[in-house]
A and B are shown apart, each in its own frame.
Chain A
Amino acid sequence: MDILNLLIQGTLLGGLYALFAAGLALMFGVMRFINIAHGDFIVVSAYLLLVAVLTLGLHPLVGIALVTGLMAGAGYLGQRVLLNRVLDEDILPPVLVTFGLSIILQNALMEGFSADSQRVPAGGFDTASLSLGSEIAIGLLPLSMFLAAIGVLGVLHWIFFHTHLGRLLRATADDAAIVPLMGASNAHTFALATGIASAVVAIAGTMLAMKTNFDPTIGPSRLLFAFEAVIIGGLGNIWGVLAGGIILGVAQAIGAQIDAGFQILAGHIAFLVVLALRPRGLFAKS
């Protein structure tokens, strides 16, 4: 029963990691853009929810919707105004710019919210659970996070394979240089990709805000989890990030069972094992 419980809790945690990873994978897939500030954008979303719920007194669901819309818009504009300028054949300038952004965001959050650990209360929802038998209880919040992850990936899948925008995003991933010959602007497509990725980031960050304590400095480690989930799952596969997230989550849950201090390390070890055995990830597109 213990093992089953670990698998369930790890899988549910994996949903959150899949949400962390999806935005990163989307931006890298469409425009070879490595966003070092990805984790900090997640944390910014968490703080935005904090403001929406605690300062403005909004219902958490309304807060999530608001933060998602805000982040999507900011993502579109940020790409259009700033990040498109550094996109080129060279992969290094975006890394440097987003590294700078990461530091700016961490310090701005520190200035605005102090280094204190925060958490957004979800009105009892965060502690409620479903019991399955006597030994297994599934938290409603982790369960909804997992379902949200599946929902988000489902929507991404639908956008990619059943809409004109998705066709454009796939074409841009293939060969961005000639997409303008199809009558579509690269700058606009890139910005839409970042807008969608930022909406996913917002959902991930707001979930994080209700699930655990956060402070301005935790962004880089969320980035690391996102990277690991993407690489375990394999690039170019939307559902691969879910598998990657689940493997990472289960490894961490098992690690935590052995020793509380072993939780994070166990995830990294699982990542290294996959990297050594399947360097292109488990479900990479050939």
Chain B
Amino acid sequence: MTKLLEARGLTAFYGDFQALFGIDLSVDIGETLAIIGANGAGKSTFLRTITGLRPARGQDIRFDGKQIAGLAPEHIHRMGLSMVPEGRRLFPSLSVEDNLLIGASGGRTGQWTLDEVLKLFPALTERRHHGGAELSGGQQQMVAIGRALMSNPKLLLCDEISLGLAPKVVREIYAAIPLIRERGTALVVIEQDIQQALKVADRVYCFQEGRVTLSGTPSDLSLAQIKQAYFGTEVA
């Protein structure tokens, strides 16, 4: 199968601190991938490096057949790689509708339009003229996902979309993922909830202290293996 995203030997540093130690990871076209791992495992750093928010000059990251390491984040975005950032990061002075529309700044048109996003998340329709800060956490997350979809990405990166949300709300958000997938978009989902990750993903990568400690399809991996890879210790 053709690789949509392929990172080889990816490293990242914060000053003298090394956050990633040679990550090899690939995403196939249309695939949903989950990255799990404890806090500080390097999951968000990985996404920030892929999207160009962190410097990646000289590294090897291929997206859609092209080398993207070192490109500006807006260029990478316009190639069809979009991210829902950790903590949602809505623009507080913009209405819901403006928050969604600004996601289309890169000029990529396609199936996802304002109407389609509002159909995906009907709860937003009646609040479209409200400010982002007036929404519930779940609705804010819907706006953040919708905003990323507005660029009609080939690959959508979701950083901790269930963080701080009630289980019922998390189920609502995750219900949207099959609908996004069926339009051909590949996804990378960072998730702390292992069950949720196993349920949604075709393949799972587990990060621990900046390394990939385990990868495979959910049916291939036992819970014991995952716990070992997640915490780095034998679990009794």
The answer to whether B105 and A170 touch across the interface, beta carbons within 8 angstroms, is no
Q: Given contacts A171-B102, A174-B91, A174-B92, are A183 and B85 in contact (CB under 8 A)? A: no
B196 at the interface (CB under 8 A from A): no
The answer to whether B151 and A183 touch across the interface, beta carbons within 8 angstroms, is yes
A182 at the interface (CB under 8 A from B): yes
A168 at the interface (CB under 8 A from B): yes
The contact string, 1 if C-beta is below 8 Å from chain B, for chain A 160-194, is: 00001001101101110111111111100000000
The contact string, 1 if C-beta is below 8 Å from chain A, for chain B 141-155, is: 000000110010000
Contact of B103 among A173, A182, A186, A285 (CB under 8 A): A182
Chain B residues within an 8 Å CB radius of A179: 105
The answer to whether B74 and A183 touch across the interface, beta carbons within 8 angstroms, is yes
Chain A residues within an 8 Å CB radius of B89: 175, 178
Instruction: Tell me the complex Cα distance, A185–B148, Å.
Output: 16
Q: Give the dominant DSSP class at A's interface.
A: helix
Instruction: Tell me the complex Cα distance, A183–B101, Å.
Output: 12
Chain B residues within an 8 Å CB radius of A182: 74, 77, 102-103, 105-106, 147, 151
B167 at the interface (CB under 8 A from A): no
The B106-148 residues at the A interface (CB cut-off 8 A) are 106-108, 147-148
Q: Given contacts A168-B102, A178-B89, are A183 and B94 in contact (CB under 8 A)? A: no
The answer to whether A181 and B93 touch across the interface, beta carbons within 8 angstroms, is no
Contact of B94 among A171, A178, A181, A285 (CB under 8 A): A171
Chain A residues within an 8 Å CB radius of B23: none
Please give me the residue from chain B that is nearest to A178 by CB atom. B89
Contact of B53 among A170, A180, A184, A185 (CB under 8 A): A180
Chain A residues within an 8 Å CB radius of B82: 181
Chain B residues within an 8 Å CB radius of A167: 94, 98, 101-102
Instruction: Tell me the complex Cα distance, A181–B90, Å.
Output: 12
Chain B residues within an 8 Å CB radius of A186: 74
Q: Given contacts A168-B102, A178-B85, are A183 and B93 in contact (CB under 8 A)? A: no
**How many residues of chain A are within 8 Å of chain B by beta carbon?**
19
Interface size class, chain B: 20 to 34
Shortest Cβ distance from A283 into chain B, in angstroms? Answer: 15
Instruction: Tell me the complex Cα distance, A136–B170, Å.
Output: 68
Contact of B105 among A164, A175, A177 (CB under 8 A): A164
Chain B residues within an 8 Å CB radius of A177: 53
Shortest Cβ distance from B102 into chain A, in angstroms? Answer: 5
Please give me the residue from chain A that is nearest to B78 by CB atom. A183
B188 at the interface (CB under 8 A from A): no
B52 at the interface (CB under 8 A from A): yes
The answer to whether A183 and B91 touch across the interface, beta carbons within 8 angstroms, is no
Instruction: Tell me the complex Cα distance, A171–B94, Å.
Output: 7
The answer to whether B105 and A168 touch across the interface, beta carbons within 8 angstroms, is yes
Shortest Cβ distance from B46 into chain A, in angstroms? Answer: 15
Instruction: Tell me the complex Cα distance, A175–B107, Å.
Output: 20
B45 at the interface (CB under 8 A from A): no
Contact of B93 among A164, A174, A180, A184 (CB under 8 A): A174
Shortest Cβ distance from A29 into chain B, in angstroms? Answer: 10
- Among B85, B102, B103, residue most surrounded by chain A Cβ atoms (within 10 Å): B102
Q: Given contacts A174-B92, A175-B91, are A183 and B106 in contact (CB under 8 A)? A: yes
B206 at the interface (CB under 8 A from A): no
The answer to whether B94 and A180 touch across the interface, beta carbons within 8 angstroms, is no
The answer to whether A164 and B73 touch across the interface, beta carbons within 8 angstroms, is no
- Among B98, B105, B107, residue most surrounded by chain A Cβ atoms (within 10 Å): B105
Chain A residues within an 8 Å CB radius of B104: 183
Instruction: Apart from A183-B77, A185-B72, list 11 A-B contacts with CB within 8 A.
Output: A168-B102, A170-B91, A174-B92, A177-B53, A180-B53, A181-B83, A181-B148, A182-B74, A182-B105, A183-B106, A183-B108
- Of the A-B pairs whose beta carbons lie under 8 Å apart in the complex, a sample of 10, sorted by A's number, is A164-B105, A167-B101, A173-B93, A174-B94, A178-B85, A181-B148, A182-B102, A182-B103, A183-B74, A285-B93
Nearest 5 interchain pairs by C-beta: A183-B106, A180-B73, A184-B105, A183-B77, A174-B91
